[in-house]
């Protein structure tokens, strides 16, 4: 039986044990190989600030209380925007990984497992203290997809 050769973009997703931000490397490789559609989606992202959606917690302001801290508000706004960018980036990355697992007819179980493990490493590199959230949100989706795709028990 001839040895099957993986496409270059799929081989490039395999991460070596590198200490320097494996999530950024995986995401950049996915983005490079996904083409203009993915690149344009990230650039045209319609992420809104939490305050534009309806305020962080909609606490009423007390009458006469002055809360004018422009530097603190600017920093807070930047942090919210950065957090929103990272969340959107994670969502797109997981979506791409799930698309590859679900649609590549030549993908083996081992390669799909490597992609799922790489996605988890990337997510934890972006959000180091959110492993429980990953396990609750994305792990069941990836497990269900692999079970359906490879008819695992």
Residue 35 Ramachandran class (φ > 0 left, ψ -120 to 50 alpha, else beta): left
Per residue in 84-121, pLDDT tens?
Answer: 999 999 999 999 999 999 999 999 999 999 999 999 99
Is residue 21 situated within a structural domain? no
- What is the reported pLDDT for 53? 46
- What is the reported pLDDT for 80? 94
Count: domains in the chain: 1
Is residue 35 situated within a structural domain? yes
- Find the DSSP H helices in the chain: 8-11, 22-34, 36-43, 50-53, 70-103, 109-126, 131-137, 139-150
Is residue 49 situated within a structural domain? no
Is residue 140 situated within a structural domain? yes
- What is the reported pLDDT for 120? 96
Domain around 117: 26-42+85-153
Is residue 72 situated within a structural domain? no
- What is the reported pLDDT for 71? 82
Per residue in 4-35, pLDDT tens?
Answer: 665 655 555 554 444 444 555 555 555 555 55
CA distance 29 to 42: 14
Quote the DSSP letter at residue 5: -
């Amino acid at each position: 039986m001839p040895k099957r050769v993986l496409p270059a973009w799929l081989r490039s997703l395999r991460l070596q044990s590198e200490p320097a931000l494996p999530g950024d490397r995986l995401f950049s490789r996915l983005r490079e190989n996904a083409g203009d559609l993915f690149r344009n989606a990230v650039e045209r992202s319609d992420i809104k600030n939490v305050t534009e959606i309806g305020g962080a917690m909609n606490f009423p302001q007390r009458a006469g209380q002055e809360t004018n801290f422009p530097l603190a508000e600017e920093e807070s706004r930047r942090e919210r925007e950065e957090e929103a960018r990272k969340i959107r980036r994670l969502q797109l990355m997981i979506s791409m990984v799930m698309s590859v697992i679900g649609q590549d007819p030549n993908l083996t179980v081992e390669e799909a497992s490597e992609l799922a493990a790489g996605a988890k490493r990337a997510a934890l590199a972006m959000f180091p203290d959110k492993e429980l959230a990953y396990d609750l949100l994305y792990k069941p989706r990836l497990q269900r997809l692999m079970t359906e795709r490879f008819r695992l028990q």
